[in-house]
Chain A
Amino acid sequence: MYQALLTRRYLTSRVMPLLAALAVMLCTAMVLIVWSVMSGFLGMLLDSGRTLMGDAAITWPVAGIPYYEDLMDRLEARPEIAATTPTLETLGLIGLPDGSPEIWTLIGVDGPSYDRVTSYAETLWWKPIDKPLPKDRDREDLRLRLSNQYYDEGLALTEQDLETGDEKAAVVPGIWATGYNRRDIGGWTNARFRFMPDAELTISVLPISQRGAAIDVAARRFPIANEFQSGLYEVDANTALIRLDALQEMLDMNAADRVEAFDPFAVEIDEEGNETFVQPKAVGVEPARVTTVMIRAADGVTPQVARDVAEDVYEEFAAVQGMEVPDPQFVRIYTWEQRDGVRTFIAAVKKELALTVALFGFISLTAVFLVFAIFWSMVSDKIKDIGILRAMGASKPGVAWIFIRYGAAIGVVGSILGGLAAWLIVSNINPIHDWLGTAFGLTVWDPEIYYFPQIPNKVDPIAALLVMGGGVLFSVIGAIAPAIKAARMDPVRSLRFE
């Protein structure tokens, strides 16, 4: 009882405890901000990793997997698998509208089925929006005036030729790939110089033989149907999607007549008596091929389970198709987390997250020392009070409790304020960052380094509880030694203390 009274009075009648609470607040806020941003970053990374390839995939690079439709049918027959889509990945030399060359990763996709696996449609950038974003103060966002046409063309990766009316295969580059878009103040994206969906690209690819040698160069002009933003900067800056059949054709991976081996110089005499070259005789159909079949797991099925099912199905598929398809022993079947680059990268980010939180937590130990130092001096300040209380019958633990309570009170006040401050800062971190950028030219969050154009701005409630609990705990720990010192004091000596 008297402890509560004294705690309250000590807390409100002095500056020192307020300083201690401030220190606790700063430490709590600091750790929570770092934690929120880092774990938000990790979360975004995980999300976008999934957006790019669904839950799992089967890959055989270069040569590709033939009869993939059969494989997809078999996969989709399984209840664990919701959808599949074929993709073809290669490197391409790109000629931008101004003629400058780039090298991108080209992915041949079939728009509608690709969307079912990866939510591709959501990443399409040029589609009508109803309301300007709050940050688009001047209502300059082009999308406010856009028709649905670009969206439809983007989803189908097909554009209609205005003169002939023919359907033409189109490309959808990542939003940062061409360099023709810019991020405006506030972070929204808009076209600069030129509206990309009205432009064309020249794409050159190298069809590669089974042994890995380039056979030829295939070059074609493609209209740009739309642009996509996956959120992963690396991808958005170096990737373009092309309609699958067009890329298959360029890479000689489309369905074609299979011919017998023949002598190209052999001649024959036709019915009219003319000498002609012998034409190759078709003996079957060379199947179309893709390098990857992407898989989306059914609701409630983990990527790992989907992967295991895919392995099963592939074995069955290989048993039926025989020698023509890649050996199940060597074909790569993996979840999105196990993808090359992603796996090590995610592991690295997780480690980095743990490391930074631990590091900042360690720095927060200064709060313990602060509380300790402040309490130590306060106990010295209150020696006489302690003597009086002991003389009036207060027990040793009772006196110690005053200071423990006091520490806890400072911890609670500091942690709550710190949590609040962290929440305010993290929720507004992008405007704050933009303001720092315009006011001082300070850019801490460079999307080229951190992959995402936006800084994560969510506070995880569990992290908040943990950090705030830690703040209280640290404050109590800091108060323990002074409390013990107070309890051990000899009452008479305390009373005589000047």
Chain B
Amino acid sequence: MTSETPILEARNVSRTYRMGRVDVPVLKGVDLTVAPGEFLAVLGASGSGKSTMLHLLGGLDRPDRPANGTEGVFFRGRNLSGMSSSEINTYRNLQVGFVFQFYHLLPELDVLENVLIGGMIRHGRFGFGRRKSELHDAAAELLKSLGLGHRLRHKATALSGGERQRVAIARALINHPPALLADEPTGNLDRETGMRILDAMATIREQMNQTIVMVTHDPSIAERADRIVRLTDGVLVTEALEASNT
């Protein structure tokens, strides 16, 4: 641990889902500190709450007891619960890039447009218009570096799973966010493709000096990270030893 302000921090974060009259606690006081530039893997069984945790970190969801100041999710020391809705929108747009477990591409758009949409949201109509060619080039470059240079004008629905995942990664990176949150980026892919995607992520991380939080249930994938934590029974435990043993 360095003395730097952590880029992402979770302090005693809980998340309980209400199923009718029954409360289902999924996260029961998660504590996590992510240093800038770190590559962190979160291991956990299916249903353990990994996606839930990532959603909280990405500002898509809110913890149970927000805004008491000392608890919650912090980005560079700032509590997300204290942010206005426009601040949260900017946070989602600029500070974190999200790679979803199930790709979630927009089916009506082609590959390039899917990647550009984050830029469109960021710059608005006129800003985007002004930077159009610049952003187009950046997106095409990003896709090329992920091996999709020949697929720019294809509809997202025409791609294979691995290709879609790479488009999703490019989309998450278009605004150069300091943090990348990846939810099982290789979960639906064969091992070899998964490894190639991890390679691509590692390269980009080096180029952009990014922080990555990656969720997986596969210990061999988690191995690629600097540090591994395990989510069990709604809390996080450090796993460094076990990972190095495997």
Contacts and interface: CB of A to CB of B under 8 A. Distances in A.
Interface of A: 1-2, 4-6, 9-10, 13, 384-385, 387-396, 398, 491-492, 495
Contacts of A389: 106, 117, 121
A491 B125 contact: no
A393 B85 contact: no
B153 interface: no
Nearest to A9: B108
Q: What 8 A-B pairs have minimum CB-CB distances, sorted nearest first?
A: A393-B93, A9-B108, A393-B92, A2-B120, A1-B120, A1-B125, A1-B128, A492-B61
B60 A391 contact: yes
Contacts of B125: 1, 4
B100 interface: yes
B92 A391 contact: yes
A398 B93 CA distance: 13
Interface of B is mostly: helix
Interface in B175-207: none
Interface in B197-231: none
B85 A396 contact: yes
A391 B88 CA distance: 10
Contacts of B109: 5-6, 9
Contacts of B100: 388, 391, 495
A495 to B, nearest CB: 6
Interface in B88-132: 89-94, 98, 100, 104-109, 113, 117-118, 120-125, 128-129
A2 B117 contact: yes
A10 B108 contact: yes
A1 B124 contact: yes
Contact of A395 (B55, B85, B118): B85
A13 B157 CA distance: 13
Contact of A385 (B106, B118, B123): B106
29 contacts: A1-B121, A1-B124, A1-B125, A2-B117, A2-B121, A4-B125, A6-B106, A6-B108, A9-B108, A9-B109, A384-B104, A385-B107, A388-B106, A389-B117, A389-B121, A390-B60, A391-B58, A391-B60, A392-B118, A392-B121, A392-B171, A393-B89, A393-B90, A393-B121, A395-B86, A396-B85, A492-B55, A492-B61, A495-B60
A388 B172 CA distance: 11
A495 B104 contact: yes
A1 B129 contact: yes
Most chain-B Cβ atoms within 10 A of its Cβ — which of A1, A4, A6?
A: A1
B85 A392 contact: no
A385 B123 CA distance: 20
Q: Say which size band chain B's interface belongs to.
A: 20 to 34
Contacts of A391: 58, 60, 92, 98, 100, 104
A373 B61 CA distance: 30
Nearest to B168: A388
Contact of B123 (A1, A9, A395, A491): A1
Contacts of B55: 492
Nearest to B126: A1
Nearest to A388: B104
B159 to A, nearest CB: 16
A394 B94 CA distance: 11
Contact of A492 (B60, B91, B108, B121): B60
Contacts of B118: 392-393
Interface in B117-170: 117-118, 120-125, 128-129
A390 B93 CA distance: 9
A385 B107 CA distance: 8
Contacts of B107: 385
B92 to A, nearest CB: 4
B92 A392 contact: yes
A395 B89 contact: yes
Most chain-B Cβ atoms within 10 A of its Cβ — which of A9, A391, A398, A492?
A: A391
Nearest to A398: B121
A393 B122 contact: yes
Contacts of A384: 104
Given A1-B129, A392-B93, A392-B171, 12 more contacts: A1-B121, A4-B125, A5-B109, A5-B117, A388-B104, A390-B60, A391-B104, A392-B92, A392-B118, A392-B121, A395-B86, A398-B121
